[in-house]
Amino acid sequence: MNVKTLTITLGIVIMIAMAIYPPWQSIDQDGKVVAMGYSFLWKPPEVQNKATGNLFGIEIDINLKSTRANSLDYGRLLIQEAVVALVVAGVCLLVGKGKKS
């Protein structure tokens, strides 16, 4: 297997892995977008919202409703995929120029 084929194969594997473990976001009713991090495609991330308070020296922890990611962050995923594609194309061009010399 030559370097060009190995580079393309590795690039495809990385791009598939990024699609399986994508960035997520949560969009609320007001249209506010919050980045939620990365998680598997079949298991969106969930954040437990907590509130704390101090009442006369007594710490109070309140568990609020959890927030679950409800949308993929397609913009960020597209940028990541494009960067990998550009790196793979650049390596292939460099390898191709090196063999012609």
How do the domains of the chain map onto residue ranges? 3-100
Residue 67 has pLDDT above 90, yes or no: no
Q: Rounded mean pLDDT of 89-93?
A: 94
Q: Rounded mean pLDDT of 63-89?
A: 92
- Whole-structure pTM value: 0.76
Q: Note the pLDDT tens digit of each residue in 7-42.
A: 999 999 999 999 999 999 998 888 899 899 999 999
Q: How far is 80 from 17, CA to CA, in rounded Å?
A: 11
Instruction: Find out whether 43 and 86 touch, Cβ atoms under 8 Å.
Output: no
User: Exposed, middle or buried, 91 (CB in 10 Å: 0-12/13-18/19+)?
Assistant: middle
